Amino acid sequence: MKSVIPIFFILVLNSIIQFPVGKNFEVRLQVDSTLCAEDQMVYMYYQIENQYCMEDSVLIGKDKMDVSLYGQIPEQSDIVIFFDKYGPNQLILVASPGDKIVLELTEADGLGIVFKDVEGSQATNESTLNWHHSQSIRRNIRRLQGELYAYYDKDSTWFVNIEDSMQLLQQELIEWRMNIIQNSINPNNIWSALLTPELKTHLGNDSVNNLIKAAQARFPEHSGLKALSPDYESAPASEESKRIFKWINQKVSFKISQLNKKKKEKITKPKVNESNLPVLSEIRGRDALFNFILPTLDGDTVVLADFRGKYVLVDFWASWCIPCLLEIPILTRVHEEFKDDLIVCPVSMDANHDYWKNAIKKHFDAIPTHLIATNEKGELFDEIERLEIGAIPANYVLDRNGNIIAKDLRGQKLIEFLKELLKK
């Protein structure tokens, strides 16, 4: 009997001290060497209704690659983790009181909004699956929207088929969300699914209100679900919450400005043993497209001057740019219809080359020539930086001698211009 009592008290003690005083969940980050190349702060916060709460922060670096953040939440909630210098702006987890969440994070996870699987939180993994599946459906819808946009002169039967395909995808999205609303055991994920804009469009207000009432009956204490009632009035944001919100936005803006500044640093050019190498001019701005040398998808290099003798469409885009992705069917059509006389030359502005390559596989593999405007560190090459392109998509049409004859033509205007130019 004497040996049992100490063991009992040790178990009780362990259950009491599993979190620091005043905290009820833990997030353990195992961060790769790239994100820890220089010291930076990592912050963790959450939002319930109008209130932002900053829970914890920790320093990571070369000697601090495995760290823990602790917080106190009243209920299951979205938790956001923000990297101060390099890493996700929003790493989104779903935590419940008592959770011990563990995840590995690498540079490949990206710098924007990140959802990924973890250990210790089934709610987070359900949320991650929901996010990626929904994004996949929406990408397919955007692709079809792009085809409607690109092939505006097709017959009515083709249009009906595309619209039917879009409707089926919308229905798949609704059914996916309905499954979460009706079957998930995680109130925070149900709340998130109920916020889907398409629900009211497809089901109507009465049906959505009935879904909300059913969710509230299952989880009557969850504040997010309570707040979905039409007559619910949220308390105004506190001054502390306003201060935290402002501070977060300032931090994110400063981080983005610093990353953009690094992209403009001088870099070493690729080496080629060819003529027609670009010579940098003092002229800057959108009319400064004289020549460039850029890496290709297979690791070779291309000099713009090598295309002289044909018309060229140079299109600047990025994998994260939704308007750019909507233009892809247009570029594909241009390539298919005018390839005997014109070269389509997409130039990606992606800082991450893996994102660029993956986007080509998903959306863009019909076009043979693909170039990228950044080096492996994500920095713009000088020949592109001097163009001072403020927004994408952006494009140029060059004549057979490499002179600019048109800029920023898109959709039907681009097709009609090229038909007239090439008399097709």
* Percentage of the residues of the chain whose pLDDT score is greater than 70: 87
Residue 261 is predicted with a pLDDT of 65
Sequence-distant (6+) residues with CB within 8 A of 85 are 38, 40, 255, 258
Residues recognised as catalytic: 321, 324
Note the pLDDT tens digit of each residue in 331-341.
999 999 998 88
| Structure confidence at residue 424 as a pLDDT band (50, 70, 90) | low
Mean pLDDT, the chain, as a whole number?
84
Other beta carbons less than 10 A from residue 3's beta carbon? 6
Phi, psi of 103 (to 5 degrees): -150, 150
Domains in the chain and their CATH numbers? 14-120 (2.60.40), 123-226 (no CATH), 293-422 (3.40.30.10)
| Rounded Cα distance, 424 and 417, in Å | 10
Average pLDDT over residues 180-188: 95
Note the pLDDT tens digit of each residue in 85-118.
888 989 999 999 999 999 999 988 887 889 999 9
- The C-alpha torsion from 160 through 166 and 172 to 174, rounded to 10°, is -110
